[in-house]
Amino acid sequence: MMMEIKFRAWDKENEEMIPAEAWYFGHDELEPFVDTMVRIKERFEVMQYAGLLDKQGKEIYKGDRVETCCETSMGTWIDREGVIYWDDVHAGFYIEYIEGDAVPISLPDEITIVGNIYENPEPAKELV
């Protein structure tokens, strides 16, 4: 099965998340497309769907703040918070944890979305 390609965008002017199906830029011709794309980049931060659902069934997008439960080298379990991003070198979606390390998304059913970097710019939890 192929991954569904979807997007959403953060509207910097109105400070709101817009699903892709609500996008309309007022052009029916290809000629003004380049000018429109420049304006889009200035106003919107576009995020791609990772093709995965979190453990609550929510779609995971680039820029989402997520929480995972990880086993430490000592055999204990801890909650960790990170942000979803696209890694160009490895051509995949990764979680960058607030401690600085990053891992590919391998078990989406162990991930819970807790917000996104636009509506929730600060981590949900403080580091201890």
pLDDT by residue (tens digit) across 11-27?
888 898 888 776 655 55
Does pLDDT of 101 surpass 70? yes
> Among positive and negative, which fits the CA dihedral 126, 76, 101, 59?
negative
Token digits for 37? 């794309």
In this prediction, residue 127 carries a pLDDT of: 41
Distance CA 102, CA 114 (A): 18
Q: How many residues does the chain have?
A: 128
In this prediction, residue 84 carries a pLDDT of: 96
pTM of the model: 0.78
Per-residue pLDDT of 40-82, as tens digits, reads: 778 888 899 999 999 999 999 999 999 998 777 777 777 889 9
Give the phi and the psi of residue 37 in degrees, each rounded to 5.
-65, -35
DSSP for the chain reads -PPPP-EEEEETTTTEEEEGGG---S--SSTTHHHHHHHHHHHEEEEEEEEEE-TTSPEEETTEEEEEEEE-TTS-EEEEEEEEEEETTTTEEEEEETTS-EEE---GGGEEEEEETTT--S-SS---
In this prediction, residue 122 carries a pLDDT of: 80
Beta strand pairing status for 59-61 and 102-104? unpaired
| Confidence band, pLDDT 50/70/90 cuts, at residue 31 | very low
